[in-house]
A and B are shown apart, each in its own frame.
Chain A
Amino acid sequence: MPDHQTPSNVRIDFKSPLVLDVDYTITVDAEAFEGVRITIVDGSAAMMRARLRFRSGDPESVGLPENGIAPLRDSRGLKTTDFERMPAFRGAYAPARAAYQELLSSLGIDRRAWGDGLPMAVLCSSYLTGMELPGESAIYSGLRLNILGPPPQVPFDYEIALDSYDSRFGMVKSRFTLGTESAIWASGDISAISRPAHHRGVASCPAAGTGRFAGKSAIIIGASRGLGAAMALELVAEGGTVIGVYSRSQEDANELLAASRNLPGRLIMERGDASDLTWCVALRGRVRAELGALDLLVCNAAPAIPSLRVEEACYDRILAYIGKGLALVGAPLSALLEVISAPGGCVLTISSSAVEEPPAAWPHYVAMKAAAEGLVRTAAVANPKVTFCIARPGRMLTDMSDTPIGRLDAEAPQSVSRRILEHAWEGTASGTVLLCR
């Protein structure tokens, strides 16, 4: 922080999500041009870039209230149709004194050297993005901020209004001001990606089918969202009994259960860690006791996909990802193969088109899926009375692939589910491995 200077203009571009327990490198370049450029780097990839400019004058601090003020306790769940009305929101904001001081201290920011204008404005912009506009499921991607002076008082008023919404990319641009109408002390633009919850599998519930899965049973590993949720509903609509395994998404599991209630089959949601062999063996005991045997095992779960590269900084995370992802196929397969009906039973493993066309930032995902395919192919040789099916679907509109470019031309999980299940149902050649998209 230069002496006798105050931050006046800030630009921040968030490139990739920053996560806990990763050692990032921070570079500060004060020589390249007027101002300071700060980059947070993971290996060779920039995760965040910021540029600060300054004006003359010593930074100022303001008195802080003991308790914070945030008008909303829950973020706004705006729908894409809400953006057509060009919403605007107003309120008053203040960080709690102790939390604010602790945050600055943990970031190594000296409040006397920096003043309160910049941290207050950035904190408020984060609140506005995550809670007000676009709110729920927002990804904060960029901030341009002009700071005219310190906040005259805390709490301070804010106003945020939608500037534009691009439905192709989910890109939300908004403008905000901080302060009263006659005394605005900061203003800026926020870019965010909106990811409404309708991308999940529950969005459209299939009508009751023709009963082609009636009297049969399935386990779906990774059933609460996306393709797994769509498959669960499809099989229940066809009259089957489905045990849907999920690890965390309790809210999604509840929604899925509610959506299945009017369908002819039965859905049981089971929470647990399917990468844990002991847990899968216990599940096998329940299958034996309650269902007798399984007609279908769907291995669909995979960990969320961070962006990584084949380089030193990422190596440990690549190995960990492959281990965890492979276990989500290997553990259920190892525990449950012996309760699959033979002949007639089917193991359906969801791989990915990424195996054929690897995205540059997904070496861990591609390696994990390729390894899982290898496991399944080998199991097929040893279990000639069971049908094995490997599906390599392309981009789907799910939480996992809902990135600005990833969503372009992405297919709804419901239609992918229907196509893959058709393929698995038609697969009568036991002992061979069916490959479908």
Chain B
Amino acid sequence: MNRDTVIPPLNAIFQDVFDDPSLEVSDDMTAPDVEGWDSLSHVNLIVAVEKEFKIRLTTAEVRGLSNVGDFIALISRKAT
């Protein structure tokens, strides 16, 4: 799946998880950039992404994410 296909549904997930309809994801976005992005929200993001894209992320992959760009690249790689 290419990144242009990944971004719209990922954006919708971010807006839903953080309850902010104005949120727009970007490659360099990290947790401190988003109000309320704590470990619990992170888990909700992961679970929602896995359900939406029908993928399963390993704990190493979850731990290895350093920004949203990494997340988009990981989803693009794993989703068909």
> A interface vs B, CB < 8 Å?
11, 13-16, 33, 46, 49, 51, 141-142, 164, 166, 168-169, 171, 191, 193, 403-406, 408-409
Contacts and interface: CB of A to CB of B under 8 A. Distances in A.
19 contacts: A13-B19, A13-B40, A13-B41, A15-B41, A16-B38, A33-B21, A49-B19, A49-B36, A141-B40, A142-B44, A166-B47, A168-B59, A169-B46, A171-B43, A191-B44, A404-B40, A405-B42, A405-B43, A409-B63
Interface residues of B, number: 17
A13 B47 contact: no
Contacts of B43: 166, 169, 171, 404-405
Chain A interface helix/strand/loop/mixed: strand
B62 interface: yes
Contacts of A168: 59
Chain B interface mostly: helix
B4 interface: no
B39 interface: yes
Nearest to A409: B59
A408 B47 contact: no
A404 B21 CA distance: 26
Contacts of A142: 44
Contacts of B33: none
B35 interface: yes
A51 B19 contact: yes
Q: What are the 10 tightest A-B residue pairs by CB atom distance, in nearest-first order?
A: A405-B39, A404-B43, A408-B59, A169-B43, A409-B59, A141-B40, A404-B39, A166-B47, A15-B38, A171-B43
B73 to A, nearest CB: 20
B16 to A, nearest CB: 10
A408 B19 contact: no
A11 B36 CA distance: 14
A169 B62 CA distance: 11
Given A51-B19, A406-B39, 19 more contacts: A11-B19, A13-B36, A13-B40, A13-B41, A15-B36, A15-B40, A33-B21, A49-B19, A168-B59, A169-B43, A191-B44, A403-B39, A404-B39, A404-B40, A404-B42, A405-B39, A408-B62, A408-B63, A409-B60
